[in-house]
Structure 1
């Protein structure tokens, strides 16, 4: 993700804790997903989701007093990373009433704003669980990942995201100091932005060096960041969507310090051990403005649709190295391939090394993707297994313009790579969104994982030419 969202609440603090409270039982909402071996042979897995620790109430052990309120730590109670880890407790969650999170069968619904007895919650981030104490680990080399999504109520400036990160399967209990909460309470988050707004990293608090956000009264950043490889299968709203791969020098969870973290909280965004921008495929950004959006587009974002992502290896086995990421969409019984890029100097409709090099050259990027190992490093993370994350968030740093508008906003939208979507450069202010669109939500359902071409109807796929004309299509028969 481009950056992180925090919960807004008058009494429930926004924190990442290691000790466990006893005031609210932690009951993970149930959800199902399917493992397929062929189109007609899928097995349903009974699973659950867990709320990320950054959204939970952090309080003094044995007391209702907060350890962290607004964007400020209570330094009179604890003032070091070790002390706060040992003296602050992470509480269980009332998923629906406090956080606007609900499940039904295979569906996970995340509401944007939820008013409750103790204040207001904004956004959320949840993880798929394999058990009550461990995250589900997905190994997707030579596999495809399929899900259905409803983004019809997500306006400009919001992001309903489904992605993978190389977190510790137990939430860091085995590797962390004083971490008794673990995956059950959503600990251990990391991504390629090396976020420094995470309140606890590897079992230690992030209070030392904590600086308040200049524009978000509920956020801040500590000295430490939490880094790991990230695979953004889906970041979107009703106006724009993007698929992005983010490599890191060390794919699994590592802790960084200060400006050496890079990402949004550092003076040099590109200074960290990961690629914060990644190699991305946004149909609009690569020249296909007619493909995705409201009803007049080919893929109608006002209705649910299914997204299929295939991870192709060099030898066609799960032991190979990732060389290509392919994308298909299914809506109204019609399967569309990802449209081809339509810019001079950029072609193709998949993410591969050639595409990433050409994209970086055309868009005049810093070449972080290649510098941090490219698809080979993403492949290392995938081989070890990654945790599935689903979230809804707004963006205090850039107002989500990097996803759905012109970014950087001062650049000419006609310059290659600047135009990302049709949203206004003035859109996306979180304060305005929380007032104007509190009922926004995203819903993910029907997650399926299996061998290539096992989770969707691939018998007749429409492929759109580089210059999209809805009246012209090519039907491709896949093997």
Structure 2
């Protein structure tokens, strides 16, 4: 079904070009504590986070001239991907001053707009590190993942996301092809097969690069970067969703054209871009989540996600993804579906996903890519934890918190996803009116079922 010639597994071989490391700003990862739990106790360890390479200053190896400025490459330095990788270096980051990223103990705060000395930064994406050079790899089968979150300062159009993707532990660090690696936040991929990643496999994605017509900082290259994705948390103060996205490829994989699911070929992608989501508002409970809701987004709360296997082992087939919340000392069970054609359910299962696709009239790419079973395989192989804050230059985050598609009847099952207006969420409006928006994640834990809350 998929063209093999367009797919290149992101193996990291020694070649003559390199993705370089700059020395103008020292890289110091902000510390962030993390807890491993077993029944009755949790053990805290001191970890850290690193900033994604896409946000970092990219300049000449011999000086400070920009290799990438605004949303365009300097073609004299980057006539092709290999030469660009040889000429240009990723530098260290001023986390609080340039990017609005701060940590304290177990808490990470990501600010939306930060006015630095030399530039204005919008959004950010960070990864949890095991040590200074390696991403922490999570194996989630038959486990429970828990964190606290404060979304009270996230209005319509923003997304404070926490999720897992099947990145490589070292971020593609190789003896020559990528000298930056996980320390400098390289190797990102997800189920949308994004084309805006500046370096893929240590090579600049500069060839065929088209600057965005509505984002002064972004563009798209010929290559996309695909991998399985488990969205634990995509949310603002109005709406929230959790969504598995299985892929037919293993690990980070470069793609072009149809295999990326570009344009009208969305459902030909090697990854399920839609996923099987559980958004309480979309699933019929309009009062469960939001300001003053059962889960009251005006204050901090705990999010618990459990990955249930058929035989309750770490190697069994994934059969269910459960969700519950804790707020004000009270355990809150997930909302129950109230949609015609879908049996009452409060978790993601194969039956739930199949019924949802039918009831909403959506193509079932989730099942076609192997559903929970294939998602479970990725969880067993291991995934990297990502935390981000972002606005949406494609569809204004309406898929999360409003009526989407905007020309559809909101009464039709699956169309209404939240209370935000259909003209909300435009990046130019959100960046102007809510620059001080932020999200806070804290008390991140992994443990046996029932051990983390």
Q: TM-score range by the shorter chain?
A: over 0.9
Work out whether 1:355 is the aligned partner of 2:352.
yes
Work out whether 1:442 is the aligned partner of 2:430.
no
Please point out which of 367, 371, 388 is paired with 2:385. Answer: 388
Determine the C-alpha separation between the residues in 1 that align with 2:49 and 2:259.
33
Q: Describe how 1:246-261 pairs up with structure 2 within 5 A.
A: 246-261=245-260
Q: Describe how 1:17-416 pairs up with structure 2 within 5 A.
A: 18-38=19-39, 40-174=40-174, 178-262=177-261, 266-295=263-292, 297-346=293-342, 347-416=344-413
Q: How big is each residue's C-alpha offset from its partner over 1:326-349, in whole Å with a ceiling of 9 and x where there is no partner?
A: 001000111111111001111311
Equivalent position SS for 1:327: strand
Report if aligned partners of 2:446, 2:452 keep a CA contact under 8 Å in 1.
yes
Structure 2: state its 5+ residue gaps.
1-17
Shift of 1:410: 1.0
Report if aligned partners of 1:206, 1:222 keep a CA contact under 8 Å in 2.
yes
Determine the C-alpha separation between the residues in 2 that align with 1:85 and 1:226.
17
Q: How big is each residue's C-alpha offset from its partner over 1:150-197, in whole Å with a ceiling of 9 and x where there is no partner?
A: 0000000000000000000000114x9620000000000000000000
Report if aligned partners of 1:157, 1:427 keep a CA contact under 8 Å in 2.
yes
* TM-score normalized with structure 2 length: 0.95
Equivalent position SS for 1:86: helix
Equivalent position SS for 1:164: strand
Shift of 1:318: 0.6
Shift of 1:214: 2.5
Report if aligned partners of 2:164, 2:385 keep a CA contact under 8 Å in 1.
yes
Determine the C-alpha separation between the residues in 2 that align with 1:139 and 1:84.
35
Equivalent position SS for 1:167: coil
Determine the C-alpha separation between the residues in 1 that align with 2:182 and 2:190.
16
Determine the C-alpha separation between the residues in 2 that align with 1:441 and 1:217.
21
Shift of 1:286: 0.5
Shift of 1:289: 0.2
Determine the C-alpha separation between the residues in 2 that align with 1:132 and 1:145.
23
Task: Name 1:477's counterpart in structure 2.
Answer: none
Determine the C-alpha separation between the residues in 1 that align with 2:373 and 2:79.
41
The Cα RMSD (Å) is: 1.1
Equivalent position SS for 2:131: coil
Q: How big is each residue's C-alpha offset from its partner over 1:390-440, in whole Å with a ceiling of 9 and x where there is no partner?
A: 000000000000000011111111111110000000000111111100110
| Aligned residue pairs, count | 435
Determine the C-alpha separation between the residues in 2 that align with 1:202 and 1:378.
24
Determine the C-alpha separation between the residues in 1 that align with 2:168 and 2:322.
27
Shift of 1:18: 2.3
Equivalent position SS for 1:97: helix
Report if aligned partners of 2:177, 2:201 keep a CA contact under 8 Å in 1.
no
Determine the C-alpha separation between the residues in 2 that align with 1:109 and 1:161.
12
Report if aligned partners of 1:290, 1:298 keep a CA contact under 8 Å in 2.
yes
* TM-score normalized with structure 1 length: 0.89
Determine the C-alpha separation between the residues in 1 that align with 2:452 and 2:298.
23
Determine the C-alpha separation between the residues in 1 that align with 2:326 and 2:48.
26
Q: Describe how 1:454-473 pairs up with structure 2 within 5 A.
A: 454-456=451-453
Determine the C-alpha separation between the residues in 2 that align with 1:267 and 1:103.
42
Equivalent position SS for 2:134: coil
Determine the C-alpha separation between the residues in 2 that align with 1:268 and 1:413.
26
Task: Name 1:475's counterpart in structure 2.
Answer: none
Determine the C-alpha separation between the residues in 1 that align with 2:96 and 2:385.
20
Shift of 1:267: 4.1
Report if aligned partners of 1:285, 1:420 keep a CA contact under 8 Å in 2.
yes
Shift of 1:87: 1.1
Work out whether 1:433 is the aligned partner of 2:418.
no
